[in-house]
Chains A and B, each alone.
Chain A
Amino acid sequence: MLLTVLSFALLIQTPQGAPRTIAIDEAFASQAHLKVGDRVTLSARPDTPADSAEVVIVGAIARRGADPSEVARGDYVVRMHLDQLQRIAGYGDRVDRFAIATRPSADVGRTLEQINHVAFGFRAYRSKDIAVETSRTFQVVSRFHRAIGIITIVASSIFLLCIMVLKVEERRRDIAALRLMGISRLSVVRSIVIEAGLVAVLGSVLGIVIGWVVSLVVNWHYQALYRTPLYFSIITPSIVAFAVALSLVLGIGAGLVASARLARTPPLALFGR
């Protein structure tokens, strides 16, 4: 069986002979209102005479694979027997591309070498390398996303620092009173930093929960829209770790900067007389 993408004209037909089966993809099935067991006529062109068209039965409806390159495609995919395809297409016994699955234990590098050595006219690539080639667009898009992410993080860090300084500034008099009571600078800074750290942890937990919910909604929506099992948004442990670490560093850093500023000021000056 060969996977090929073609444009087909379609006609619902009456039974004749013993038709063979084809498999069509889910999106196609739902748009053409086809179900398993339906008879269809296949031909390479809309104006093909009825006697050279093939009558087939829809034998299976295939779900789409988790292939990013398929997601946005408007094409319909039909799988059929190779000889039938050749007959309809009027296209000889030729194959452009085929895939070889290897066992997990196989040495892919050596296999590639061997194929490339013996198979004249073919060139074997790792699927990974092909994926890289075919996903250049995705890479550009994801680099763009990363840039947006970095800008967002930088901007919000500055925002956070300002908020923190303002929030701590609001407590000038409280801090002054603490210092006058005999609470040391270290204790003042420590308590503010601990508070900032707790807020940061709480914030990142909240952020992760919100992110997780949003990502569920995004996946649910786009998986339905594109009829694909592909995940559009994922939250990995490394993303979670990064988010928590970043917010801790930012929160504690901002708390330190803000509280150290005030703790350095003599308590009487904090009261602003």
Chain B
Amino acid sequence: MTAPSGASVGAVRDVPTARASIVSLSDVHRDYPIGAELVHALRGVSLEVERGDYVSIVGPSGCGKSTLLNLVGVIDQPTSGTVAIAGKRVDAMTDREATSFRLHNIGFVFQRFYLMPTLSALENVELPMAEAKVSARERNARAAKLLEYVGLGARQHHRPSELSGGEQQRVAIARALANRPALMLADEPTGERDAKTGAEIIALFRQLNADGTTMIVVTHDEDLANAARRKIHMRDGRIVQE
């Protein structure tokens, strides 16, 4: 597979690919230079994730889970090896290509939600759609629907500061879904949150996956990890066990 550099980056959800894999990593290394030393965060990871799958990645702190997720999310690039998402090489994209690719294909949920404090829940969800040039009317309708989907239909016009932590995380999930990404990535989405919120997120992710979104979740949370169809164990920058 060659990198289609300069090719336009569009939504890939409905584009049929030769393979069933939506994520394809081959012998991926990621080194971080720390002074004169190199930290080998990933030491040869190969991974295929099928469309519609639900994968959890677990392992001790510092084993490279976030590094792996960042590569899949096209917010970082490997030192060597190839990363393809939906049949498209993403490991050597320019910043502009990568940004547009993320906008249309990938939904991120982080441990912290980073909602815009001055915008309402609805406006926060509309933001990525505005960037994708979705019309105002459609934006509004879709954002309202997404908030309803995550159970916040009645909270549309609240500012993040007027919402509980769990509610804010659900707004962030709705925002991640804004441009109908084929791939949803979550890095410790239940971290720092109480059990009830954790359970809500687990249920929501399950629902999302059932509705067709491919999910990759990095977590310490046993329940969340076990909710996935596939559980990948990492250690020292390698996948050690499925």
Contact = CB atoms under 8 A, between A and B. Distances in A.
Contacts of B102: 180-182
Given A268-B70, A268-B76, A183 B114 contact: no
A246 B85 CA distance: 49
Interface string A166-179: 00000001101111
A174 B127 CA distance: 13
Contacts of A268: 70, 75-76
Interface stretch (B47-55, B93-101, B142-150, B218-226): B93-101
Contacts of B127: 178, 181, 183
The interface residues of chain A, by DSSP majority, are classed as helix
Contacts of A174: 114, 116-117
A187 interface: yes
A174 B70 CA distance: 18
Contacts of A177: 110, 114
Contacts of B95: 185, 266
B205 interface: no
A268 B102 CA distance: 14
B131 A182 contact: yes
Interface in B167-189: 175-176, 179
Contacts, number: 52
Contacts of B116: 174, 178
Contact of B99 (A173, A176, A182): A182
A182 B100 contact: yes
A267 B96 CA distance: 12
B72 to A, nearest CB: 13
Interface string B97-114: 001111110101010101
Contacts of B114: 173-174, 176-177
Interface residues of B, number: 26
Contacts of B103: 181-184
Contacts of A184: 96, 99-100, 103, 131
B223 to A, nearest CB: 26
B76 A182 contact: no
B83 to A, nearest CB: 15
Nearest 7 CB-CB pairings of A with B? A182-B103, A177-B114, A182-B102, A183-B131, A184-B99, A181-B128, A182-B99
Interface of A: 173-174, 176-185, 187, 266-268
Given A174-B117, A182-B132, 11 more contacts: A174-B114, A177-B110, A180-B108, A181-B127, A181-B131, A182-B104, A183-B103, A183-B131, A184-B131, A187-B131, A268-B75
